[in-house]
Chains A and B, each alone.
Chain A
Amino acid sequence: VEQVKLLDRFSTSNKSLTGTLYLTATHLLFIDSSQRETWILHHHIAAVEKLPLTTSGCPLVIQCKNFRIVHFVVPRERDCHDIYNSLLQLSRTAKYEELYAFSYNPKQNESEQVKGWQLIDLAEEYKRMGVPNDYWQLSDANRDYKICETYPRELYVPRTASKPIIVGSSKFRSKGRFPVLSYYHKNKEAAICRCSQPLSGFSARCLEDEHMLQAISKANPSNRYMYVMDTRPKLNAMANRAAGKGYENEDNYSNIRFQFVGIENIHVMRSSLQKLLEVSGTRGLSVNDFLSGLENSGWLRHIKSVLDAAVFLAKAIAVESASVLVHCSDGWDRTSQVCSLGALLLDSYYRTIKGFMVLIEKDWISFGHKFSDRCCQLDGDPKEISPVFTQFLESVWNLTEQFPQAFEYNEAFLLQIHEHVHSCQFGNFLGNCQKEREELKLKEKTYSLWPFLLAEQKKYQNPLYNPDFSPELTLLEPNTVSFNFKFWRNMYHQFDRSMHPRQSMFNLIMNTSEQNKQLEEDIKELEAKIKQRNGRSDVVLVKEQERTAHPAPVALKSSPCFQKEQPPMPVNDAVRAIEGSNTADNRYSELVSEFSKAEPAVVSLEYGVARMTC
């Protein structure tokens, strides 16, 4: 469809880009008159909306799961209607096999594909934690998914927990998700375990389950009591009792300390995010409206409650050396959040790029966080959608803000993961549990995301990362005072590069990205020239060699690319954009002076990310 206009969400003047809209099997593609392209994966589309006809055409608003909102104006209503219908169909896939991951082909051969899937090995990870050991062993009870369909095959349980105890306990737990090991802290000999709520109702008991908890407690020689964390608000947990579920009765279990944490359920979170997006999407917002909207959405409160729970968990382990059993209702949403964040606080390994992948693979993917349902990968029940994983990423982001040196990865890494959780481009996040993934033969038919992220890990590295910042297994103690929780602009406005109304009024934003690109190309060109010249200069030749000898450097040539592929942050974009727009008019020397500054720019860009909201 030609002559389509792309409106800018935040510009105050009604400026728009005109271009052509293409619909492909997997993407929506918009190419504007200056040949800039906007790719939108169909799987990213969360909602398409047709607005009432206006004089200029038929407006079409597309909301994406990565918080991009695009606003097209299609000149002819028929076209608009066609696009609308096809997008509706394309964005709602009924079967897994139709997802992009099954058709996506990154030109890898089979062995690379297999290797990619083997990159993250959870058995290796448990070994790293120090299990199996004298107290914990690998259980084969769930080898054929007989006891619990949503758990992985390999589960670690206390040595003293015999198979009948496991089976009995699983019968007493919602969805059969009995207590298993999630993280083992080898210095404190304490463990994070996870399960689902007990089917206790008002008075039911289960001796096997009580034995199970006792076994976990006994598996920790350094402390005789253990915590049981119910991550739900107490009221919700009590309401569940009426349905024959509920929470552990402290009288029935010996040596447990029971604790409610009060993280709201998926429905509350969904509507909270909805409110947040409504507020942040408003045009011409005043500061006060924004703040009150932020307050009313409750989003930051929820993030705080998640992080508070994780801090509680981590402290129980690191300070009291007590094992902790975490559960919520089904043990795959809030439990995943709390367990993974707790482990992140406890173990610096998870603060590395590889470690973070392992953490997600372990606590989220293998323990059956329902990615497919929560991210609406298939056309399903809208009530199952919930930004649980987004909250996890946001909590991690908050930690990176507080500890700029503690994390090897940066914000871009988190954003990229978020992107691919929804993109269905890789097999990792497809499906709801391991069993389903095996049935889909994902490992043969699709590719794993992690090797691709690792391959471009330079983009995701935090230049301030200091591996000595916190030695292995020291607790990260974040401050969860309210003012530390900030609106994550780069997540929710990732694609709103024009959060600068002044610029668009000034006609700048129109050309920024383009000119920026030109400049970067120019830089490359110039750099190539300089190199040629240098070939003749002896002094520089020496230095040249020195450069190639550097192990890690982002070669200058690639550093502009690096900048370019940064997640578009409105602010920093503008810096570059403006630098770009004007320097381009300047003389060569100035161009180069900026060029030679490319390196500090990269560093500071990261810094900008890290401290953007401080």
Chain B
Amino acid sequence: MEFSELIKTATVEDVVLWRPGLPAVRGTLCITSHHLLLSSCPRGDLELWLLIRNVDAVEKRVQNLGCYQPPRSGGSLRDTSVSGSSGSITLRCKDLQVLQLEIPGMEECLNIASSIEALSSVDSVMMMYPFFHRPPSLRLRQGWHLCPPERHFQQVASQTSRWRLSTVNRDFSACPSYPAAVIVPAAVGDDTVAKAAQFRQGGRFPVLSYFHPKNGTALLRSSQPLTGPKRRRCREDEKLLGAILDEGGRGFILDTRSAQAAKQARMSGGGAEPKSSYPQWRRLHRALERGRPLQESFAKLAEACGEPAPSVERWLGRLEGSRWLGHVKAGLSAACLAAQCLDSPPCPKTPGSPRREGCSVLVHGAEGTDATLLVTALAQLILDPACRTLEGFQALLEREWIQAGHPFQLRCARSASGHTRGKQEAPLFLLFLDCVWQLSRQFPFSLEFGEQLLLTLFDNAYASAYGTFLCNSEKERSLCGVKENTHSLWAWLNQPEEQHKYLNPLYSHNPSVIWPSVEPQSIQLWQGFFLRWIRPSQHLDEAWEEIRRLVEGNNSCIKEGTGKRQSQSLPEPTLPAGTRELLLPTGNAEGQDGDKGQQITEKPADHTKNPQQITPKKTPDHTKTPQQIPPKTLSRSPKKTQITPKSPRSHKKTQIPPSNPQITKKNQT
């Protein structure tokens, strides 16, 4: 197949481009094998490159000028077309951008539309742009080994010896959608694993997804067991799962389907683990939407966002009707549940608390390639601070989505406007990104990366110049030679000048678990994505820049001090020498942080002295320690000082000048 066959008309002059919220552009339109290019005439100051793969749907409308002119703003521009007929093409992109092209000449218009349609649905992986894209700054093969399973295993192995790296799948025979190396319990041999694989749909036997060092618990994922209507059993699978738990220990199986759906799956050969054969495991059901309903939800929401000027009622109604936020909530709460099972306080203080504590968790749905990955990846993000760094997040995606065999090519073939076409499309990855975004909203300084990274990831998953999200599994990738012939997205992102854009300036390492709130009041629409092309974001962007500027000024001071953020390869902030002074009034105590850093390094002896005083072991006597230090309030008696600072911050607000009146009143009682 040659691309030239698909391109019927390569160049059209005098095309007008309309984009929502932006002035119209007139210029020359070119269609190349992978791009749509519009350069504005006469000045050529604007060049628009659109990856044709990004086009989700093409709508065309042609009319002869003589008959009927639809009432459209800027109709006067059309008068210049000489052919007497014209057409307009609406390109709905996968990233929800809508472009409207007005093309003089009916034939050209139809040709362009069909060329774009044909080019955007080229099926062969090898014909896709990543195989042709050669950015000058990168070398091939760079960035492909960001997170091989071996490295993940090394991390696990440094903490426990209960797991081993198995190469049972080295030729992808046990499971075509798994990578060549996976982590399985050390106590189980490869032949057992291979047998267990036959008992799982698609061969996706239980493998380690994440080892939680705090409690020594493990997060596993698999696909459904093939129990079928006859309730088949598989000794090897039972053994495999049994080897994960201690004698008498308990584990949880988090099924991402409803109990009903799991039962029904038996009719088609699937099912869930029966309690009788897996006595140590308890099943939990958390129904997550996937497949078509999710795709439709996405389409509805995108449609709602595209509606111009709805009333508040209509907007909320459509938001509700799309049910998207409900899916976000469900995804987050399922992940929380998994994380909650894995992580628990070592010594629960109150007996009434739930007993799902410190247990290993196996997550699966049906195929184990969609909702399962959503849950496991999110749970890790919640639990593990290492996953919240830019590097760690990339590794997480690589491990839990790409290598774990999320069928990107099938799921992301079409976006919101292409809902009529296939059955395989589902925006699971978008749902994941949305959940991550919710986390980043709720914990604005716990994630090292910002919204921009999530947007870029979405764009690249749906249409990319890089090979990272190509194909459906590692097996396909190795067949197509993706790693040899395309560039890795990670290599591109991790170039210092690129990486800079994706960092969250507010990030500070947060070693603890981040539990998101899943109340509906806390779940918000990801406007940065869904309204990316619609809402004017200038002011928000400016504010964001301001924050970046403030924090970078701050960081440069810190660096002067200790070089605190060693781990980051952040480019030196390009602030002029005088910036620090300029920043002072707004940046508050920037210098101080730097100072602190210095002080700390100067006095490492402090380490030895202080721990007894700091580490509160939740002992009752500890609560007294802080009280004895008189807080610096202006109140008069020591009794008062205790009360004022201690009233929890929410309550403080009731009495603004805090100390006196309350005291007097209290004395009255």
Q: How does the 8 Å CB contact mask read for B619-631 relative to A, with 1 for contact and 0 for none?
A: 0001101110101
CB pair A517 B626 closer than 8 Å? yes
B554 touches A487 (CB 8 A): no
Question: Among B543, B603, B623, B627, which residue has its beta carbon within 8 angstroms of that of A610?
Answer: B543
Given contacts A425-B656, A571-B517, contact A27 B665 (CB under 8 A): yes
B294 at the interface (CB under 8 A from A): no
Q: What 0/1 readout, one digit per residue, does chain B (453-487) give for beta carbons within 8 Å of chain A? A: 00000000000000000000000000000000000
Q: Are B589 and A553 in contact (CB under 8 A)?
A: yes
Name the distance in Å between A571's Cβ and chain B's nearest Cβ. Answer: 4
Q: Is the CB of A579 within 8 A of B564?
A: no
Cα distance A212–B442 in the bound complex, in angstroms? 54
For the complex formed, measure the closest distance between the CB of A183 and the CB atoms of chain B, giving whole angstroms.
24
Whether, in the assembled complex, B125 has its beta carbon less than 8 Å from a beta carbon of chain A, the answer is no
Q: Report chain B residues within 8 Å CB of A319.
A: none
* A37-B650 contact, Cβ under 8 Å, with A289-B520, A483-B315: no
Asked if residues A499 and B522 are in contact (CB atoms below 8 Å), the reply is yes
A575 to chain B: closest residue by CB: B443
A589 and B590 alpha carbons, distance in the complex (Å): 20
A575–B662 CB distance below 8 A: no
B648/A582 in contact, CB under 8 A: no
Instruction: Please name all residues of chain A whose beta carbon is closer than 8 Å to the beta carbon of B600 when the two chains form the complex.
Output: 530, 589, 592, 596
Which residue of B539, B595, B654, B660 contacts A543 across the interface (Cβ within 8 Å)? B595
Q: Which residue of A lies closest to B611 (CB)?
A: A588
Are A585 and B665 interface neighbours, CB within 8 A? no
List of A residues within 8 angstroms of B625 by Cβ: 518, 521
- B111 CB within 8 Å of chain A: no
Contact mask for chain A residues 573-614; partner B; CB cutoff 8 A; 1 contact, 0 none: 011001101111111111111111111111110011011111
**A111: CB under 8 A from chain B?**
no
B647 part of interface (Cβ distance < 8 Å):
yes
Is B524's beta carbon under 8 Å from chain A?
yes
CB contact between A10 and one of B516, B519, B666 (< 8 Å): that residue: B519
Decide: A286 and B614 in contact? CB cutoff 8 A.
Answer: no
A-chain residues with CB within 8 Å of residue B595 when the two chains form the complex? 540, 543-544, 547
A380-436 residues with Cβ-Cβ distance < 8 A to B are 402-406, 415-416, 419-420, 423, 425
Cβ-defined contact, A556 with B543, below 8 A: no
Q: Mark B586-599, 1 if CB is under 8 A from A, else 0.
A: 10111111111111
Q: A residues within 8 A CB of B602?
A: 537, 539-540
Q: A24-B665, A514-B623, A597-B593 are in contact. Are A479 and B536 (CB under 8 A)?
A: yes
In angstroms, Cα B528 to Cα A529, docked, is: 45
Quick one: given A546-B591, A594-B508, A600-B506, are A41 and B654 in contact (CB under 8 Å)? yes
Cα–Cα, bound, A585→B344 (Å): 15
A203-211, A222-230, A237-245, A489-497: which lies at the B interface?
A: A489-497
Contact indicator B665/A587 (Cβ below 8 Å): no
B158 within 8 A of A: no
Q: Are A518 and B626 touching (Cβ within 8 A)?
A: yes
Whether, in the assembled complex, A565 has its beta carbon less than 8 Å from a beta carbon of chain B, the answer is yes
Q: Does B81 contact A (CB under 8 A)?
A: no
Expressed in whole angstroms, the minimum distance between the Cβ of B603 and any Cβ of chain A is 6
Question: A107 — which chain B residues lie within 8 A by C-beta?
Answer: 660
Q: Are B585 and A506 in contact (CB under 8 A)?
A: no
Nearest A residue (CB) for B648: A513
A235 CB–B CB distance under 8 Å: no
Docked-complex contact A521 and B631, CB < 8 angstroms: yes
Q: Is A298 positioned at the interface, with any CB of B under 8 Å from its CB?
A: yes
Given A15, A578, A583, which contacts B352 in the complex, CB threshold below 8 Å? A15
Is the CB–CB distance between A547 and B444 below 8 Å? no
Pick the contact of A522: B528, B598, B626 (CB < 8 A). Answer: B626
A53 interface hit (Cβ, 8 Å): no
Q: Establish whether residues B655 and A290, one from each chain, have CB atoms under 8 Å apart when the complex forms.
A: no
Is A142 part of the binding interface, using a Cβ–Cβ cutoff of 8 Å? Answer: no
Which residues of chain A are near B170, meaning CB under 8 Å?
Answer: none
Whether the pair A589, B519 counts as a contact (CB closer than 8 A) is no
Contact B515 A301 (CB under 8 A): no
Residue from B446, B518, B655 whose CB has the most chain A CB atoms within 10 Å: B655
A435 to B333, CA, bound (A): 56
Contact B326 A286 (CB under 8 A): yes
Contact with B along A93-121 (1 / 0, CB 8 A): 00000000001111100000000000000
A555 at the interface (CB under 8 A from B): yes
Chain B residues within 8 Å of A613, by CB = 524
Contact of A507 among B349, B617, B626 (CB under 8 A): B349
A288 CA / B321 CA spacing, docked (Å): 8
What is the 8 Å Cβ interface bit string for chain B, positions 643-669, against chain A (1 contact, 0 not)? Answer: 101111111111111001110011011
> B36 near A: Cβ within 8 Å?
no
Contact B649 A565 (CB under 8 A): yes
User: Which stretch from A28-36, A75-83, A165-173, A324-332 is at the chain B interface?
Assistant: A28-36
Cβ-defined partner of A36 (8 Å) among B511, B522, B648:
B648
- From A37, A489, A508, A575, contact of B646 by CB (8 A): A37
Complex interface: chain A residues within 8 A of B603 (CB)? 530, 533
**Distance between B81 CB and nearest chain A CB, rounded to angstroms:** 33
Check if A559 is an interface residue, CB within 8 A of chain B. yes
Smallest Cβ distance from A178 to chain B, in angstroms?
Answer: 35
> Is A51's beta carbon under 8 Å from chain B?
no
CB <8 Å contact, B629 and A402: no
With A463-B588, A599-B590 as given contacts, are A26 and B506 in contact (CB-CB < 8 Å)? Answer: no
Out of A10, A564, A612, name the residue touching B649 (CB < 8 Å).
Answer: A564
B653-A416 in contact (CB<8A): yes
A357 part of interface (Cβ distance < 8 Å): no
Query: What chain B residues lie within 8 Å of A143 (beta carbons)?
Result: none
Q: Roughly how many angstroms separate A406 CA and B542 CA in the complex, as a whole number?
A: 11
A176 within 8 A of B: no
Task: Flag if A587 contacts B611 (CB, 8 Å).
Answer: yes
B509 on the A face (CB < 8 A) = yes
Chain A residues, CB < 8 A from B138: none
Q: Residue among B317, B325, B654, B665 with the most chain A CB within 10 A? A: B654
B497 interfacial by beta-carbon distance below 8 Å: no
A555 to B607, CA, bound (A): 24
**B67 interface residue per 8 A CB criterion:** no
Q: Which residues of A contact B665 (CB under 8 A)?
A: 24-27
**Which positions 207-256 of chain B face chain A at CB distance < 8 Å?**
none
Residue of A nearest to B320 (CB): A291
Task: Identify which of residues 600-615 in chain B touch chain A, using a CB-to-CB cut-off of 8 Å.
Answer: 600, 602-603, 606-607, 610-611, 613-615
Contact of B589 among A41, A555, A608 (CB under 8 A): A555
CB contacts (< 8 Å) of A593 on chain B: these are: 509, 564
Which among B25-33, B274-282, B304-312, B420-428 touches the partner chain? B304-312
Cα A307 to Cα B115 in complex, Å, equals 47
Please pick, from B611, B646, B653, the residue contacting A567 in the complex, using a CB distance under 8 A: B653
Flag whether B551 is at the interface (Cβ < 8 A): yes
Residue of A with least CB distance to B451 = A614
Q: B311 CB to closest chain A CB, in angstroms?
A: 6
Q: Determine whether B261 belongs to the interface, using a CB cutoff of 8 Å to chain A.
A: no
* Selected contact of B626 from candidates A525, A546, A570, A571, CB within 8 Å: A525
Contact in complex: B310, A482 (CB < 8 Å): yes
Q: Select one of A493, A575, A591 contacting B514, CB under 8 A.
A: A575
A402 to B542, CA, bound (A): 11
Q: CB < 8 Å: which of A36, A405, A571 contacts B441?
A: A571
The complex places the Cα of A423 from the Cα of B654 at a distance, in Å, of 8
- The residue among A285, A404, A539 with the most chain B CB atoms within 10 A of its own CB is A404
Sorted from nearest, which 8 A-B pairs have the closest CB atoms?
Answer: A521-B626, A582-B512, A290-B520, A404-B543, A482-B315, A553-B589, A291-B320, A295-B316
11 more CB-based (< 8 A) A-B contacts, given A513-B649, A517-B646, A568-B650: A27-B662, A499-B521, A501-B518, A502-B340, A518-B616, A525-B626, A547-B592, A578-B512, A579-B510, A585-B615, A604-B506
27 contacts between A and B (CB under 8 A): A13-B352, A37-B651, A38-B651, A287-B520, A288-B323, A463-B588, A466-B546, A482-B310, A482-B314, A483-B305, A487-B521, A505-B354, A506-B515, A507-B349, A526-B614, A537-B599, A540-B598, A543-B594, A553-B592, A561-B631, A566-B649, A568-B648, A585-B616, A585-B617, A588-B610, A603-B506, A610-B543
